[in-house]
């Protein structure tokens, strides 16, 4: 296949990556821990875990999963954690034990959590105590038999640990009461695991590494099967892409996006493969704490989404953050707004480098060269060993410059959806192209621009929301007769969820309806605008809702 | 216009080897339609109505089982059942807007267990012929973007598939009926799983 985009590759970026380099993420871990042993790997709340310490802790965690919990290769282990030091320990522990990671958004409601755990068939979970009450409500309906709980400060030095755990629990009251009989404490797991042997599981590229959940058009999330081969490929692709700007073992990257999201996850692992220090931000919405962490650490790279960069720029205290060492700012997940890109360049001196991908492509497939001087407004060019094509409705390539569906091929493209062969068949063409659902065009130098979205979803700050799921929750309320959800432009989040509701119970208030939604929908899926109508929703003569007419 | 000829019921052998009956809907089908709706998955209902519908309203049901002769038509596909028959698929068209004699809108629904048998293709071909006979010039339909099977079927039967400005969740499919375009295939040939329908419904 002709790859016109190669002319745009900066010197030093190869056209192809060598995916033979690592057979699994376990080997990526081993390589980094050997090469960078005494360098800081992860930094959270001022405490550093070196590559060597991470190696030891994750080994103990893995041994416990194998020998004490008696989990088997391929078993699914859920991680319901924010960006704390426990996350990488558990992540690498699960992977090197030969099991599959199921990332769970800690803010999930019981309804969402139950679906994901059951669908994945997870038999164990690592959960931050703050969210244990959610698990408690649904655990009986799932196959989860092993629960590891952790408190926020568990991997901090003794005094800081006690203080942090006390403040979280007693002062901020962030831990609702919970009861999970048989749950084991994270620290006990590490202690017990240190005394156990670890069976070295010979993982191959075909072994499953993650079931990464993504919204489904039918209203339920589906698990994207990402193999070790997929993940290793994307880690190498992204690392190769960044190589013109980064030096092994010398960088510090800020990760304010949650690691349960694939963009932060793979980004983090790519920096990890280059021996960077990874500064974890548990809650970027706590802007004072976030900025404090930025002031305390000299950082050279950051990854984020438009909403976050904007929030930083809008905070006056951001002016006090030293950006002199910053070499790379990567944006993904959602479209970057021109005004944000412009303000960022002015303030930071380096442009926002926009990348593009899907959970189904592990995720990065297309990106701007990191050497650009100005934000381009395009999503960029395909990464090494990645092909992109613009196809028409019959899966035939369109003429250069014509709009069609952006389709992808490459070693990072998923194995399929977990237990959903039909959904899998739908997203691949006969030639093995992954349909992205995004409409766009390619110019003669291989640069790709998105023009429209084909898929039926709303993107809120980089998170996908399917109207179907929101409508399902709305109509669960007995006071609702009909409901339609649409995306409307929003300055902060790109798009926001607007709902139009016809009441059965005329006394139903917006507050009641939102309270109902809150029980069943994570924050980003929550309706921002509620409109009540007294007449039936607009329909075609045959009875189909005309969603576009809900916009007026 | 003189009333169109009656549609004579016919037996069809499907790709899965099962024999079914294809016939025009009758007023006495109302109870079976309600039951068939209840057996549908949430996803199928969503494809048909583009909303989460818990039940078909009485008014909609009433309208659906009494198509206006010469302007509307509805087919059902039935199999014998312990209590008489079960409806396993249905298809219909109505004028796009009240009084519109040029364009009609169609919908098709096939029960989950009966997908991939060629029923949808058969139904759509039947709708095309009947609508042409009723004098319509164009047939159109609205299909959820996720409903790839229906979109594939529409393309095979020479429908044009277009995006709908302002709504990425649906696509519009349409094709000309007159002068007779490419003949609508009749055989049950390749089948498509499918989609949408049951009865037209106006909520409330």
Interface touch A467/B169, C-beta < 8 Å: yes
Average pLDDT, chain A: 94
Interface touch B145/A426, C-beta < 8 Å: no
B152 touches chain A (CB under 8 A): no
| Per-residue pLDDT tens digits for A231-283 | 999 999 999 999 999 999 999 999 999 999 999 999 999 999 999 999 999 99
Q: Give the B window 54-73 contacts with A, CB below 8 Å.
A: 54, 60
Can you tell me the mean pLDDT for A352-367?
A: 96
Instruction: Round to whole Å and give the CA distance between A330 and A355.
Output: 7
Instruction: Round to whole Å and give the CA distance between A123 and A145.
Output: 5
Task: State yes or no: pLDDT of A131 exceeds 90.
Answer: yes
Q: To 5 degrees, how large is the angle CA A404–CA A406–CA A407?
A: 125
**pTM attached to this predicted model:** 0.81
Interface touch B201/A543, C-beta < 8 Å: yes
Instruction: Round to whole Å and give the CA distance between B113 and B119.
Output: 11
What is the predicted pLDDT for the residue at B55?
Answer: 85
Q: Which residue has the higher pLDDT, A494 or A485?
A: A485
| Per-residue pLDDT tens digits for A434-454 | 999 888 999 999 999 988 766
β pairing state of A47-50 and B73-81: unpaired
Q: Which residue has the higher pLDDT, B27 or B2?
A: B27
B182 confidence band (pLDDT: 50, 70, 90): low
Close Cβ partners of A440 (under 8 Å, ≥ 6 residues apart) = A379, A390, A403, A404, A405, A406, A448, A449, A450, A451, A452
Chain centroid to CA A399: 34
* Structural contact between residues B92 and B74, judged by C-beta atoms closer than 8 angstroms: yes
Task: State yes or no: pLDDT of B202 exceeds 90.
Answer: no
**In chain B, what residues touch A218 (CB-CB under 8 Å)?**
42-43, 46, 146
| Per-residue pLDDT tens digits for B12-51 | 999 889 999 999 999 999 999 999 999 998 888 988 998 8
Instruction: Round to whole Å and give the CA distance between A176 and A173.
Output: 7
What is the predicted pLDDT for the residue at B59?
Answer: 87
ipTM confidence: 0.76
Least confident of A72-76, A541-545, B101-105: A541-545
Instruction: Round to whole Å and give the CA distance between B78 and B76.
Output: 6
Instruction: Round to whole Å and give the CA distance between A214 and A263.
Output: 12
B127 touches chain A (CB under 8 A): no
Comparing CA positions, the residue from B119, B161, B126 lying closest to residue B140 is B161
Can you tell me the mean pLDDT for A24-41?
A: 97
Interface touch B169/A547, C-beta < 8 Å: yes
Comparing CA positions, the residue from A544, A541, A539, A538 lying closest to residue B93 is A541
Reduce the DSSP state of residue A250 to 3 states and report it.
coil
Task: State yes or no: pLDDT of A209 exceeds 60.
Answer: yes
Q: Which residue has the higher pLDDT, A536 or A120?
A: A120
Close Cβ partners of A340 (under 8 Å, ≥ 6 residues apart) = A306, A309, A310, A313, A352
Comparing CA positions, the residue from A202, A197, A297, A203 lying closest to residue A256 is A297
**CA of A164, closest CA in chain B: separation in Å?**
46
Which residue is it, tokens 């409109």?
Answer: A531
What is the predicted pLDDT for the residue at B180?
Answer: 54
Instruction: Round to whole Å and give the CA distance between A217 and A437.
Output: 12
Instruction: Round to whole Å and give the CA distance between A127 and A89.
Output: 13
β pairing state of A404-409 and A387-391: antiparallel
A533 touches chain B (CB under 8 A): no
Interface touch B204/A536, C-beta < 8 Å: yes
Q: How far is CA A212 from CA A238, A267, A437, A474, B167, in A?
A: 19, 15, 18, 26, 28
What is the predicted pLDDT for the residue at A37?
Answer: 96
Q: To 5 degrees, how large is the angle CA A197–CA A201–CA A206?
A: 160
What is the predicted pLDDT for the residue at A457?
Answer: 75
For residue A147, give the H/E element and its range.
Answer: strand A146-150
Task: State yes or no: pLDDT of B1 exceeds 60.
Answer: no
Task: State yes or no: pLDDT of B2 exceeds 80.
Answer: no
């Amino acid at each position: 296949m002709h790859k016109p985009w190669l002319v745009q590759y900066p010197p030093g970026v190869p056209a192809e990556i060598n995916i033979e380099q690592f057979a699994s993420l376990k080997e990526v871990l081993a390589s980094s821990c050997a090469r960078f042993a005494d360098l800081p790997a992860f930094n959270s709340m001022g405490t550093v875990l070196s590559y060597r310490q991470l190696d030891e802790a994750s080994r103990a965690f893995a041994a416990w999963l194998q020998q004490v919990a008696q989990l088997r290769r391929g078993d699914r282990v859920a991680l319901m954690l924010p960006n704390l030091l426990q996350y990488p320990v558990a992540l690498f522990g699960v992977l090197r034990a030969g099991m599959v990671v199921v990332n769970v958004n800690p803010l999930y409601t019981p309804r969402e959590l139950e679906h994901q755990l059951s669908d994945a068939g997870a038999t164990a979970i690592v959960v931050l105590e703050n969210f244990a009450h959610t698990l408690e409500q649904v655990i009986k309906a799932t196959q989860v038999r092993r629960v590891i709980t952790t408190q926020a400060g568990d991997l901090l030095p003794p005094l800081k640990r006690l203080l942090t755990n006390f403040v979280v629990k007693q002062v901020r009251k962030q831990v609702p009461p919970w009861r999970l009989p048989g749950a084991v404490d994270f620290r006990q797991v590490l202690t017990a695991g240190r005394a156990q042997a670890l069976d070295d599981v010979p993982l191959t590229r075909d072994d499953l590494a993650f079931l990464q959940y993504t919204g489904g058009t039918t209203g339920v999330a589906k698990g994207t099967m990402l193999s070790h081969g997929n993940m290793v490929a994307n880690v190498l692709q992204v690392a190769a892409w960044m190589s013109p700007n980064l030096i092994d073992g010398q960088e510090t990257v800020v990760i304010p996006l949650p690691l349960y999201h694939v963009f932060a996850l793979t980004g983090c692992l790519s920096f990890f493969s280059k021996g960077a220090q990874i500064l974890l931000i548990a809650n970027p919405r706590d802007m004072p704490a976030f900025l404090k962490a930025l002031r305390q650490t000299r950082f050279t790279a950051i990854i984020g989404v438009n909403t976050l960069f904007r929030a930083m720029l809008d905070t006056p205290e951001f002016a006090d953050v030293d950006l002199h060492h910053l070499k790379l700012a990567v944006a993904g997940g959602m479209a970057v707004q021109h005004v944000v890109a412009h303000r960022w360049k002015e303030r930071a001196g380096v442009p926002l480098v926009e990348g593009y991908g899907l959970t189904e492509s592990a995720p990065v497939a297309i990106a701007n060269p990191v050497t650009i001087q100005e934000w381009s407004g395009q999503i960029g060019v395909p990464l090494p060993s990645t092909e992109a094509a613009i196809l028409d409705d019959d899966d035939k390539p369109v003429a250069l410059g014509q709009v069609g569906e952006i389709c992808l091929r490459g070693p990072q493209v998923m194995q399929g959806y977990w237990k959903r062969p039909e959904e899998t068949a739908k997203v691949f063409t006969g030639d093995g192209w992954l349909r992205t659902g995004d409409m766009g065009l390619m110019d003669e130098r291989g640069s790709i621009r998105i023009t429209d979205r084909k898929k039926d979803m709303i993107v809120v700050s980089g998170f996908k929301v399917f109207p179907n799921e929101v409508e399902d929750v709305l109509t669960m309320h007995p006071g609702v007769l009909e409901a339609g959800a649409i995306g409307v432009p929003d300055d902060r989040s790109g798009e926001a969820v607007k709902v139009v509701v016809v009441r059965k119970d005329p006394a139903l208030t917006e507050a009641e309806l939102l309270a109902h939604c809150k029980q069943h929908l994570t924050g980003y899926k929550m309706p921002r605008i509620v409109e009540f109508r007294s007449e039936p929703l607009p329909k075609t003569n045959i009875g189909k809702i005309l969603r576009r007419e809900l916009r007026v | 216009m003189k009333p169109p000829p009656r549609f004579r019921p016919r037996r069809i052998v499907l790709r899965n080897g099962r024999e079914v009956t294809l016939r025009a809907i009758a007023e006495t089908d109302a109870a079976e339609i309600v039951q068939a709706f209840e057996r549908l998955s949430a996803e199928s209902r969503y494809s048909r109505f583009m909303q989460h519908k818990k039940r078909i309203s009485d008014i909609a049901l009433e309208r659906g089982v009494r198509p206006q002769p010469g302007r509307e038509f509805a087919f059902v596909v039935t199999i014998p059942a312990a209590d008489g028959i079960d409806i396993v698929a249905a298809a219909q068209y109505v004028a796009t807007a009240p009084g519109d004699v040029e364009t009609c809108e169609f919908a098709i629904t096939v029960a989950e267990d009966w997908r991939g048998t060629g029923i949808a293709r058969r139904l759509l071909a039947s709708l095309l012929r009947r609508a042409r006979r009723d004098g319509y010039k164009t047939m159109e339909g609205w299909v959820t973007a996720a409903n790839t099977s229906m979109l594939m079927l529409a393309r095979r039967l020479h429908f044009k598939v277009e995006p709908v400005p302002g709504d990425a969740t649906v696509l519009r499919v349409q094709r000309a009926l007159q002068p007779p375009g490419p003949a609508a295939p009749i055989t049950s040939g390749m089948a498509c799983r499918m989609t949408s329908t049951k009865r037209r419904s106006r909520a409330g």
